[in-house]
Amino acid sequence: MQLSGNKVRKLEFLMADAVTQGADCVITVGGIQSNHCRATAVAAKYLNLDCYLILRTSKLLVDEDPGLVGNLLVERLVGAHVDLVSKEEYGKIGSVALADLLKKKLLEEGRKPYIIPVGGSNSLGTWGYIEAAREIEHQIQISGDVRFDDIVVACGSGGTIAGLALGSNLSSLKAKVHAFSVCDDPEYFYDYVQGLIDGLHSGLDSHDLVSIENAKGLGYAMNTAEELKFVKDVATATGIVLDPVYSGKAAYGMLKDMAAKPAKWEGRKILFVHTGGLLGLYDKVDELSSLSGSWRRMDLEESVPCKEGTGCNQASRYSP
């Protein structure tokens, strides 16, 4: 549970690089409920590295204790160092400069820091999902006649879709990758993915590899009532729990697109990749409370058999 989600695949390569370079700590950046930051904090402890997290929050909360909800609970349990910045500071300075600033301070203290980018999304991290595509290919081969026309996945930082799209193209999968972005606009991600695959010298065009649709709705980590109800309905109907920030928005966007453009999807076999993030649900407790399952006090009056020797008479031992 604590080391779960799509970020773990990227961290397999990024943490190996950190260890190879002799790092004694890692730095990464994300939102206040970042799944990537939580996974990085846990992976660091597995490798006996310290972890420094720069977390983005609202300016109203940046000077307050961030609490122990969801991913924050795990991060703080494993001893990650948490630095808070406001969304405005993050927007003005940028994630790269913030990480470099902390790296400089740690170097001055004699530490050996290794920076992991937002979401673990760089060219090295992309290998995590090139490998995932290879695993999918292998599972299809051993399963027999299963084949997918399309792969659908959420997009939050670009590394997962870059790896899946490149891996699908290079393997026998040849499935079209459809990404539903939950933060920035599609054009941003086309450019970002292009940079990632250029870093791997692919010689390919991101527009040919992946189709990116906007599914951010109200904004990153913000949900409409309809989106949350969708997450609840899927859980009730199937037992599959989608997270509200990533996979929930992607699945919601996918079904909306299917309804709007049925000819695009009709007759196609689709693989939806669940990217994790379930701890983020805890940050939505208040919004989900009205949608959650009912409860009641169990009615025990005259319905429970009395134990022998308690004085119950035969007539009152069982309900009518």
Task: Give the residue numbers marked as catalytic.
Answer: 34
Q: Cα(144)–Cα(193) distance, rounded to whole angstroms?
A: 32
- Interior/surface letters 47-84, b for 16+ CB within 10 angstroms, e for the rest: eebbbbbbbbbeeeebeeebeeebbbebbbebebbbeb
Which residues, in sequence order, are bridge partners of residue 81? 52
Q: What is the DSSP letter of 306?
A: P
- Cα–Cα distance for residue pair 72/134, rounded to 1 Å: 33
Residues 6+ apart with CB under 8 A from 206: 162, 165, 190, 191, 193, 194, 197
How far does Cα 228 stand from its chain's mean position? 16
Q: Which of 110, 120, 112, 58 is nearest to 87 (CA)?
A: 58
Whether residue 216 contacts residue 191, with contact meaning beta carbons closer than 8 Å, is answered with no
Q: What is the CA radius of gyration of the chain?
A: 24
Say if CB 246 and CB 154 are below 8 A apart: yes
DSSP letters spanning 256-283: HHHHH-HHHHTT--EEEPP---GGGGGG
186 by Cβ neighbours in 10 Å (0-12 / 13-18 / 19+) ranks as middle
Distance between the two ends of the chain, CA-based, in angstroms?
A: 47
What is the Cα–Cα distance from 12 to 252, expressed in whole angstroms? 30
